[in-house]
Amino acid sequence: MLNLKQCQQCNELFTPRNDSPGIFCSKSCNATYHNKRRPKKERLKNNCQNCNNEIFRPKVFCNHSCSAIFNNKLRCDPIAAKKCPQCNKEFIKNTKFCSKQCGWDNKKKNYSLEYKRAMIRETYKRYIARKKYQTPVGEDLHAIKQFYLNCPKGYEVDHIIPLSKGGTHSLENLQYLTREENRKKSNKIL
């Protein structure tokens, strides 16, 4: 005797398999039935930022070309003009300097012999002070670097109380001395 059942989706008669409860006649009827019952997500509408065409929410632009056009407008916007740090001329490029020449001039200025020497001296003194725990916590290291960089020609940065005698590597303990005075002072406290 045939055990016929009626499909809940298409209302056709079918014989169920031994391993299934037999509510639907096929997998496609099963999928269709469950998809109808599932609530549909509401797709929120939005407008493309470039051309104002209607699009759906997660997207900001309707296609890649709109995205590129919008981003290129931002890069070339005259409002976003910046000043070159080397020559103070206004420019619109997405670079730090207005030209390669300004970039090279700035690099030469930053890596001059005096700059290198000042940075080497400051780094060495900081190393010695750190080794002896003589740099106070919260000390402004940028200000100390600037003190070394602003040292006039013919002068050297000296610790008033030398590091070897327990002085700190702080801005209050630094002074400018001529080369001869610094050599005479050595590591004495005057």
The CA distance from 26 to 33, in Å, is 11
Give the residue carrying structure tokens 């001039």. Answer: 105
pLDDT of 175: 93
Between 81 and 27, the higher pLDDT residue: 27
40-78 tens-digit pLDDT? 656 667 788 778 888 776 677 788 888 887 777 766 555
Q: 0.75 exceeded by the pTM?
A: no
Question: Measured on CA atoms in the order 60, 65, 69, 75, is the torsion positive or negative?
Answer: positive
DSSP class per residue in 18-81:
TTS--S-SSHHHHHHHHHHHSPPPPPPEEE-TTT--EEETT-SSSSHHHHHHHHHHHHT-GGG-
pLDDT tens per residue across span 121-174:
888 888 888 877 788 888 888 899 889 888 888 899 999 999 888 888 899 999
Collapsed DSSP state (helix, strand, coil) of residue 170: coil
The residue ranking higher by pLDDT, 62 or 37, is 62
Partners of 106 in beta bridges: none
The angle formed by the CA atoms of residues 122, 124 and 125, to the nearest 5 degrees, is 65
Bigger pLDDT: 80 vs 119: 119
Strand-pairing partners, residue 159, are 174
Please provide the average confidence, as pLDDT, over all residues in the chain: 80
